[in-house]
Chains A and B, each alone.
Chain A
Amino acid sequence: MITPHLPILQIILPLMAAPVAIILRRPGATWALATVITWIAFAIALMLMMEVLASGPLTYRIGGWAAPWGIEYRIDKVGALVLVIVSAIGSVVMPYARKSVAREIATDRIYLFYAMYLLCLTGLLGIAITGDVFNLFVFLEISSLSSYVLIALGRDRRALTAAYRYLIMGTIGATFYIIGVGLMYMATGTLNMADLASLIPSVIDQRTILAALAFLIVGISLKLALFPLHLWLPNAYAYAPSVVTAFLAATATKVAVYILIRIIFTIFGVEQILAIMPSVQNALMSLALAGIFAASAVAIYQTNIKRLLAYSSVAQIGYIMLGISMLSTLGLAGGIIHLFNHALTKSALFLALGCVAYRMGGTDISHMRGLGRRMPWTMAAFVVGGLSLIGVPTTVGFVSKWYLVAAAFDKGLWPIAGLIVISSLMAMVYVWRVIEAAYFQPAPEDAPEITEAPLSMLVPLWLITAATVYFGIDATRTLNIALSASEILLGGGQP
C-alpha cells in the first residue's frame, strides 16, 4: 500500500515534520525528530533508487490529474542519484548536529534551526523529484528561503550580511528562472518537463525560446555560484554555523547543477541548444575555467579556513560545469560523478572544521596550529578530504578528475586537460597550507587544553571520510549510474 506512494512520501514526511518541530519546541525532541525523519528519507531515497535501476523511470501524479494537466513527479537515474546524495549527507550530518548546534546556536532558537533544516531538506528533495518546471520553482524557493535563515543563525554578525546578500542574489536568480519559465509557457503552453521536451523542437526558431534559454541559464547560474555570479558563496559558507555549511556546501549547489542538467539536456536537448545558441558551450566552458583558476588563486591567500574551502567549492563547481559544458557523454558523466564526489569531499572537510570550531571556538589558520597532535582523528579526516580535493588516486576526487581529463581528450581539447592538471596543483597549495599549520607548527603557548572532538561528531565525520576512500577505490557503481544516466540524457528524449 505504501510503495506506489513512495515519491510523495519522500517530500511529505520532512514537510510535515517541520511544523511538528515548531510545536515541539524542545531542543532534544526536535533534534531527535529531525534525525529520524532524515534517516527515513534516506531509506526512501535508496528504495526509489533501487526501483529506478530495476525498472526504469518512476512517475507519480499529484491529485490524480494526469500530466500534462496536473503536476507529475518523475524520477530517473540522475534524479534518484541526487535524492540519495541529499538524504545521505543529511543523515550523516544530523547525528553530528546535536553537539555542534548546541554549542553554536542559542538554546531558545534550536527548535527553529531544526524546523528550517527540515524545510530545506524538503525543498532540495522536491527539486530532484519533480517533473514540472513551476513546481521546481516552488521547491527552489522553499529550500532557498530556509537556507537564508539557516545561514543567518551563525554566531558572527557578518553571517547576517552574508545571508542578506545571498537573499538578494538568490531571489534575482529565482526571478530570472521564473521569467524563463513564463517565456517557455508562452511559446509551448505547457509546464510539464517531458511535454516541453516534445514541444520545443517545433518552436525552436522563435526568439521567445532563445530568450527563455538565456534567462534560465543565467538564473540557475546565480544559484549554483558559477563564476562570476559566485559572490554570495564565500561569506555565506564562512559565517554560517558549521552544520549548515557542511550540509549546504554538499547539497544546495549540487541541486542547482541538477536543475541546469534538466534544462539543458532533458527540456531542450543538445541538438536544439547547439542550433539556436551555439556560443553557449564556449561561454559556459570559459566561465567554468575562469572560475576554477580565479577561485583557486583566491583560496590560496585566505586565512579563514572555512572561507578557503568556500572558494575551493567555487572552483569545484567550475569543474562540474566544465564537464557539463562539453556536451558529450564522457563530459556529462564526468560532471555527474564530480557532483557526487564533491558532495562527499566537501561535507567531510566542513564536518572536520566543525569539530575544530567545537573545540577551538574558531576556524582561522591560527587555530589550526599544532592541531595534528592534539586532535589527531579530526585532522586525519581533514587530510584525507584534502587529498580527495587535489585528486590523489584511491580517493573519490581522482575518479572524477580522471573522467574530466578523459572527456577533454575525447573531444580533442588538449589545453583543457592540461588546465585541469595545473589547477589540481593549485589545490595542493592551499591544502598544504592547512596541513603545514596543523602538523608542522607547534601549538602556541597560550593554547587551551583540548581533547579530541566528541564521539557523536567523530563517527559521522569518519563515515563520510571512509566513503570518500571507498568510492575512490571501488567506483564501479557510481560510474555505471553516471555513464548510463548521461547516455540517456544525451540521447535526447525522456530518460
Chain B
Amino acid sequence: MLSPRSILRVVSKLLIPPILLFALYVQFHGDFGPGGGFQAGVIFAAAFILYALVFGIRNARKVAPAWLTRLMLAGGLLLYAGVGVATMILGGDFLDYSALRSDPIAGQHLGILLIELGVGTTVAGAMISIFLIFDGRDREESN
C-alpha cells in the first residue's frame, strides 16, 4: 500500500539528483545565460532542504554536518578573495583576471569561473546552515 510518505520519498529521491545537476548547470552557464554563483548556490541548497524536509533533520545533518557547512561558508569567501590576491601577485590590479593566464581572454574566463564558484559555495553553505539551524533548534540540547 502506497502511503503519502512513500510517494514523497520516492519522488524526492528521483528529483534531488536533477536539482543538484541543474544547480551545477546554472553555476557554469552564468556567462551565457541567466545564472551565476548566487542562483546556483540557492538551487544547490534547495536540494538539501528538500532532503531535510522529507527525510528529517537528523539524516540531513549526517549528509551536511556542521563542520562541512562552516567550511563551505568560509572556503567560498576565501576562494573569491584568493583569486583577487593571486591576480595581485601575478602583477595586475586586484581582480584583474587578465593576469591569470598568458592570454587575457582565457584569464578572464578562468577568473570569472573561479569567483562564481566561490560565491556559489558560500551561498549554498549559508542557505543550508540557515535552514538546518532554524529547523534543528528544538531537538538539539545545545544553544
Q: Do A and B come from one complex?
A: yes
Q: Is B92 an interface residue (CB 8 A)?
A: yes
CB < 8 Å neighbour of B96 from A12, A16, A20, A64: A64
B85 to chain A, nearest CB (A): 7
Q: Is B29 an interface residue (CB 8 A)?
A: no
CB < 8 Å neighbour of B93 from A12, A19, A64: A64
Q: Is B54 an interface residue (CB 8 A)?
A: no
Which A-chain residue is minimally distant from B73 (CB atoms)?
A: A22
Q: By the criterion CB–CB under 8 Å, are B93 and A62 in contact?
A: yes
Contacts of A5 in B (CB 8 A): 88, 93-94
Contacts of A380 in B (CB 8 A): none
Q: Is B95 an interface residue (CB 8 A)?
A: yes
Q: Of the 9-residue stretches B5-13, B57-65, B75-83, which lies at the interface with chain A?
A: B75-83
CA distance A22 to B93 in the complex (A): 28
Q: Is A210 an interface residue (CB 8 A)?
A: no
What total of chain A residues lie within 8 Å of the partner, measured CB to CB? 18
What total of chain B residues lie within 8 Å of the partner, measured CB to CB? 21
CA distance A60 to B94 in the complex (A): 9
Q: By the criterion CB–CB under 8 Å, are A62 and B94 in contact?
A: yes
Q: By the criterion CB–CB under 8 Å, are B75 and A19 in contact?
A: yes
Q: Is A108 an interface residue (CB 8 A)?
A: yes
Q: By the criterion CB–CB under 8 Å, are A22 and B70 in contact?
A: yes
Known A5-B88, A8-B88, A22-B70; contact A16-B94, beta-carbon cutoff 8 A: no
B7 to chain A, nearest CB (A): 40
Binary per-residue interface labels of chain B (38-49) against chain A in the complex, 1 for a CB within 8 Å, 0 otherwise: 000000000000
Q: Is A23 an interface residue (CB 8 A)?
A: yes
CB < 8 Å neighbour of A12 from B73, B75, B81: B81
Q: By the criterion CB–CB under 8 Å, are A12 and B78 in contact?
A: no
Which A-chain residue is minimally distant from B74 (CB atoms)?
A: A19
Q: By the criterion CB–CB under 8 Å, are B88 and A15 in contact?
A: no
In the complex, besides A16-B82, A19-B78, A60-B94, 10 extra interface pairs with C-beta distance below 8 angstroms are A5-B88, A8-B84, A15-B81, A16-B81, A18-B77, A22-B74, A62-B93, A63-B93, A63-B96, A64-B93
Instruction: Give 21 pairs: A residue, B residue, CB < 8 Å, sorted on A.
Output: A5-B88, A8-B84, A8-B88, A8-B93, A12-B85, A19-B74, A19-B75, A19-B78, A20-B78, A22-B73, A60-B94, A61-B93, A62-B94, A62-B95, A63-B93, A63-B94, A63-B97, A64-B96, A64-B98, A108-B142, A109-B143
